[in-house]
Amino acid sequence: MSSSASEPLLPKPNNFTHGRNRKKYKLWIALGVTASVLLLITGFVSTTVEGRPEKRSDGYTGRLVTGKRAAVAVEAEECSNVGIDILKQGGNAVDSAIASALCIGVIDSFATGGFMLIRAPNGTFEFIDFRETAPLAADRDMFNDDPESAKYGGLSIGVPGEIRGFELAHKRHGKLPWAALFEPAIRIAGEGFRATPLLEQRLKAGESWLMTMPEWTEVFAPNGTLAKAGDLIIRSKLAKTLETVAKEGPDSFYHGFIAASLVNATQAGGGIMTLEDMEKYEAIIRPTVSTYYHGRKVTTCTTPTSGPLIASVLNILERYNLPVSGMTGVNIHRFTEAMKYGFAFRTEFGDPDFVNNDERIVEIATKEWADIVRQNISDDTTHPPLYYEPKFDHVASHGTMHLSVVDEEDGAVALTSTVNLLFGARILDQATGIILNDEMDDFSIPGKPNNFGLYPSEYNYVAPGKRPLSSITPTIIERDSKFEMALGGSGGSLIPTATLNTFMLDNNKRISAVQAVRRMPDGTVHAASDPRKLGLAAAY
């Protein structure tokens, strides 16, 4: 349907002004949301029979994994098994998640900061924010003259938060000794691991620059050619770093030799991170966001994640009763329209310690706000991007890793971590073996289009100590106050749509577009890992 400039876009007026001036920028959400919804609906519904692998044309054999007690879903089979081993040793979901995340940081080579949503066995929730922060010397206009420097090199590096995040989670919830959680990753890094198909793909994508850097070829091309799937990769320097953190504790990462080495590598690449930045980094406990969708409680994380988007879209869709009517053509249209509004609302998100709009974020996740939005959705009409009232747009994140865990007591974790673009800042510290992130690219640059040619958000401008907005949406679902599912995903702006599809469309269709674990009504557990990454979950 087309309309002239004088024709109304909808039968009902748009009511989204909140009494404030709403500066609008062009937002290409329509095509991207529609494509991602259709991709997820048509591409990730598995009909695999329990215990019988489904073969794909690319050689990948994936299956739904079932167990009686607990499950771990990570994008690499070896790391799913690490998580299960920790549970069998008497660890809980938090212990398992930490060990699994350390493992994936070794094997797939990316993860320095992120978010962890924890459900304790008693049903209480906690959200730990260990997102990277901008160095204290950072400023709003630091990338104006050279936007590319936000993507690669020292200036692109944010202060890493993962170890502080794991420390906080372990102190509050862990059962096994801190050092025990590092043992699998130390062994895998030191003795070597077989390159995964995913790692081979990523190495091939970076071949043009990677083969020019000796510190990279030492690890990933020791024989003069890039490692392929099945080749042995040894990361001995990273193993020693992990061993130090295991024995001496988290402070050894943020003080002393490791911190100094990371700072030196950053500054040698033109960066501004200092020892003071490392020493002052803190993980933060933030509020969770929750809503109910047809009687199931959905808990996710507040900003700077995109969790409020999840709650908002579910609230919009609830009145359509999709579980009964199914994904008909009109319901796919409704889903797409709701996602467009969700992504438009996301343009108002930012680090809550720097953005004074807490009331607005709460409003977006309410049933009342959803009722207003729903009045503006027509079953036979779609609209140009500006109709959905975006204020700005944000950059999308990349290089994410998600894992989901449920233990025997229904303690659960949904954890997502990232270094942003493939191999982060393209700086591998020769002394520690750590690959440094380029999370500064997740900030918006005033007056400049981002990596995708979209315009920036003032809510997401760089500031000293600020955390950039993320597409990450760790989510846990309960039914009748009991754990049902933990899920989340990777893939930048696809994360919210993948998470919503996995939750809404599951209905025993065994979707595995993201890492998910689920407690079934009979008490067994089902787990599935992302088939795009050739993942395989584990359970017992």
Q: Are 299 and 488 in contact, with CB atoms under 8 Å apart?
A: no
By CB neighbour count within 10 A (0-12 exposed, 13-18 middle, 19+ buried), where does 21 fall?
exposed
- Residue 420, marked binder: yes
The segment with the largest mean pLDDT, out of 45-54, 280-289, 379-388, is 280-289
In which band, very low, low, confident or very high, does the pLDDT at 240 lie, cut at 50, 70 and 90?
very high
- Residue 535, marked binder: no
pLDDT at 516: 86
Residue-averaged pLDDT of the chain: 86
In which band, very low, low, confident or very high, does the pLDDT at 496 lie, cut at 50, 70 and 90?
confident
- Residue 442, marked binder: yes
Q: How many CA atoms lie within 13 A of 297 on its CB side?
A: 14
Which positions are annotated as active-site residues? 400
Omega of the bond leading into 446 within 30 degrees of 0 (cis): no
- Residue 96, marked binder: no
- pLDDT exceeds cutoff 70 at 255: yes
Q: Are 125 and 118 in contact, with CB atoms under 8 Å apart?
A: yes
pTM of the model: 0.88
pLDDT at 506: 59
- Residue 525, marked binder: no
- Residue 471, marked binder: yes
- Residue 230, marked binder: no
Rounded percentage of the chain residues whose pLDDT exceeds 70:
82
CB neighbour burial string for 23-52, b if at least 16 within 10 angstroms, e if fewer: eebebebbebbbebbeebbeebbbebeeee
- pLDDT exceeds cutoff 50 at 510: no
- Residue 131, marked binder: yes
pLDDT at 508: 41
Give the H or E element holding residue 310.
helix 307-318
Q: Are 450 and 393 in contact, with CB atoms under 8 Å apart?
A: yes
Which range (37-46, 97-106, 131-140) has the least confidence?
37-46
